[in-house]
Amino acid sequence: MFNNNLTNLLKIDFPIIQAPMAGGITTSELVANVSNNGALGTIGAGYMSPNQLREQIREVKKLTSTNFGVNLFVPGKFEILENEVEVAKNLLDQYREVLNINEENITLPNMENAFHTYKEQIQVVIEEKVPVCSFTFGIPTAEEMKQLKQHNVTTIGTATTVEEAILIEKIGMDIVVVQGSESGGHRGTFLRGNEESLIGLMSLIPQVADRVSIPIIAAGGIMDGRGLMAALSLGAQAVQMGTAFLTCEESGAHPLHKDAIMQSKDGDTTLTRTFSGKWARGIKNKFISEMKEHENSLPNFPIQNALTQSIRKASASQNIKDYMSLWSGQSGTLARIETVEQLVQRIMDEARKING
């Protein structure tokens, strides 16, 4: 029941993947503990420099001898429109004031640099012989795929629609993560608009399963053995969980972030592009609510992300949750503060019990 093509491919005991969460949440301790407990830990490397990534890979290797993965953001084209940036900056000034941020110049992202960094990240993955690499926000090129395959890196793509999943199989990736509308954090959508790709897992998993033959990992709102069993019933071979691992003791999430999830109710999350310019699900707070009316005129990712960076940082360091991005899936009430070991064991116990 719990061991299949996918667990063989990833060399894991249990069909559980810790979702990549960028921005310091996936500490080496979290990643390694997940892998040491029979699931797959993943370094959320989206915002890391190649050197930072290399460093963390080496750190994780010291803590575990089992398989683990790295997740990369596939960069997209973007253009900096001066006027748009100016408007966004002016809107954000009130928050810099509230948080006493003195920022002379905001360094805006550079598209060439972004592509260059991404290519270097892939080289680090290959050089450090990381066994598994997952991709979000897009798919690798044919050339990149060829290189990854040559070096025996198991590749995972992220899809939010059937069409994206088919494309991921077509370019030769080994596994597809199917991200439902329930999931927290950034949407992985890369072919269609946001609304058209908000599909609940109950609908999305079986429709993808009917169209692709590579193994499916289900992601979105899954927190326990019930979710694991449901995902397997629908045609997935494993689950990927973000929020559930975010509140684990080993996670590097800010205490206020963990707290916000623990106190949240169903329906307390919303989709927003106010923080980064890309749609993401998080717990509603002052920043999201106030910026909502300007949402559609804000710059795209990663420009808006750069513009809000100091605000998010200052908010976190000053322990004010109003301006932090409190990413969370829709199942906040099912979160627990526990160790990775307790979480993995509990899920498997619950799943075995349901399985009878």
The strands making up 216-219's β-sheet, listed across from edge to edge, are 16-18, 238-241, 216-219, 175-179, 154-159, 132-136, 68-73, 41-44
Q: Which stretch binds its own copies (CB under 8 A): 69-77, 91-99, 265-273, 318-326?
A: 265-273
Q: What's the CA gap between 36 and 9, in Å, rounded?
A: 17
Task: Say how many C-beta atoms besides its own lie within 10 A of residue 57's C-beta.
Answer: 21
Tell me phi and psi for residue 72, to 5 degrees.
-115, 145
Centroid of chain to Cα 10: 18
**DSSP characters for 184-246?**
-EE----SS-TGGG---HHHHHHHHHTT--S-EEEESS--SHHHHHHHHHHT-SEEEESHHHH
- For residue 206, state whether it binds its own copies (rule: CB under 8 A): yes
- For residue 215, state whether it binds its own copies (rule: CB under 8 A): no
- For residue 86, state whether it binds its own copies (rule: CB under 8 A): no
Q: Which stretch binds its own copies (CB under 8 A): 21-29, 34-42, 204-212, 272-280?
A: 204-212
- Residue closer to its own copies by CB (options 53, 178) is 178
Three-point CA angle 65, 67, 72, nearest 5° = 125
Q: What's the CA gap between 325 and 181, in Å, rounded?
A: 18
Q: Which stretch binds its own copies (CB under 8 A): 32-40, 63-71, 228-236, 294-302?
A: 228-236
Q: Which stretch binds its own copies (CB under 8 A): 67-75, 88-96, 229-237, 302-310?
A: 229-237
Near its own copies by CB under 8 A: residue from 85, 201, 260, 311: 201
**Contacts with its own copies: how many residues (CB under 8 A)?**
49
Q: Encoding tokens for residue 47?
A: 């915002």
254 in Cβ contact with 324 (< 8 Å): yes
- Residue closer to its own copies by CB (options 26, 161) is 161
- For residue 182, state whether it binds its own copies (rule: CB under 8 A): yes
Interaction residues for its own copies, span 278-337 (CB under 8 A): 329-331, 333-334
- For residue 207, state whether it binds its own copies (rule: CB under 8 A): yes
Q: What's the CA gap between 80 and 78, in Å, rounded?
A: 7
- For residue 162, state whether it binds its own copies (rule: CB under 8 A): yes
Near its own copies by CB under 8 A: residue from 30, 156, 167, 204: 204
- Residue closer to its own copies by CB (options 250, 268) is 268
- Residue closer to its own copies by CB (options 58, 211) is 211
Q: What's the CA gap between 175 and 154, in Å, rounded?
A: 8
From the CB of 201, what's the least distance to its own copies, in Å?
A: 4
- Residue closer to its own copies by CB (options 11, 192) is 192
Task: Give residues in contact with its own copies (CB under 8 A).
Answer: 1, 161-163, 180-182, 192, 195-207, 209-210, 218, 220-224, 226-227, 229-231, 233-235, 265-268, 270, 329-331, 333-334, 354, 356
